[in-house]
Structure 1
Amino acid sequence: MSPAGAKDAKREADRIEPVLKRLWEQKKWDPESVRAAMLALGYEEERTGPKGEQLGGTLSVQGMRPHFETDHYVTPEGTRIGLRVHPDACVTAFVQKTNYAVQTNGPYLESGCFEPPFGH
């Protein structure tokens, strides 16, 4: 991340953190509640065209990614958030039953703001 990207990403992370804390305390970690809270901050959801091209928006709100546990896949309750602040700067966050977190990072070539589900 560039210094300007890091500064702006930190500013956005600081805006998001108290909202996620409130949602976590209210036990609202479903994607619909989290999406509504992020949209209320003024963010716009990412839109893509039929060929994957960006059409606008910077926010992506998704359910948690499934993971393998013992002998089957489990998808935990919760929501993850990706916010593209600049082409070189993102805020990623999650809120779930046990905790919540917000961090800044650069984008991944394979998956944008979210860490790819496979080796990077």
Structure 2
Amino acid sequence: MPTLVRERCGPLVATALLVCAALSLTACGEQRVTAGDAPNTPSTPSSPATPYVEPGAHDGAPHYRENNAFRRPGEMSPASAKDARREADRIEPVLKRLWEQKKWDPKTVRAALLKLGYEEERTGRRGERLGGKLTVTGMTARFETDHYITPEGARVGLRVHDDACVTAFTQKTNYQVSTNGPYLEHGCFEPPSGH
């Protein structure tokens, strides 16, 4: 009887061994992870980059630059950039002095900058520029935790040329002066949002 079982099961055992060998060979190099071995952090898939991602795009989002063009300042010519830097160097000591005196309200900042000889920018009903180059406003509202707040302080925009601006701010915590080209729809100031 044992011989009979061996003869009948022989082909079955051989087939089973062959299947097991094939399965174990196809698993070479694969790492098996059980639920107990799984990492606590989510894994990042290693897929090739999509062809729609622009180089240097924020978070790898497709069309990021196109969708956020309104947030990119225009280009300044070298001569305009030099002139803007010169005006920034005139404005910075005034804002530093006001900041040290804890005076950062728009009215005080505007008065101090007008003493440098700048003229306040004027616009027509349709937004056309009618003259002047200086704009001083309050800070813009920003979302914090669960509501919007508007910090104390002043924002400064000085249109040096059609392609060059000085932008600055002063507030309780700090002040800053920089140069940039104008934004497409918002002049010297970076727009808060687009459409």
Whether these two folds match at TM > 0.5 is: yes
Q: Which has the higher strand share?
A: 1
Give the corresponding residue for 1:52: 127
CA distance in 2, matches of 1:2, 1:80: 24
Identity %: 80
Q: Distance in 1 between matches of 2:130 and 2:102?
A: 33
> Distance in 2 between the 1:20 and 1:70 partners?
30
The TM-score, its normalising length taken from structure 1, stands at 0.97
Which residue does 1:102 correspond to in 2?
177
Question: Which whole-Å deviations, capped at 9, do the CAs of 1:5-44 have from their partners, x for residues lacking one?
Answer: 0000000000000000000000000000000001011101
Matches within 5 A, 1:30-69: 30-69=105-144
In terms of fraction of residues, the more helix-rich structure is: 2
Count of aligned positions: 120
Match of residue 74, structure 1, among 130, 149, 160? 149
Deviations 1:84-108 (A, max 9, x none): 0000000000000000000000000
Aligned CA RMSD, in angstroms, stands at 1.1
1:15-26 correspondence runs (5 A)? 15-26=90-101
Secondary structure of 1:45's counterpart equals coil
Equivalent AA in structure 1 for residue 89 of structure 2: D
Select which of 68, 78, 92 maps to 1:3: 78
Cα displacement (A) at 1:76: 0.3
In structure 2, C-alpha distance between the alignment counterparts of 1:100 and 1:52, rounded to whole Å: 28
Tell me the secondary structure at the aligned position of residue 44 of structure 1.
coil
**Aligned-partner Cα distance in 2 for 1:54–1:115:** 18
Give the drift of 1:119. 5.1
The aligned residue for residue 54 of structure 2 is none
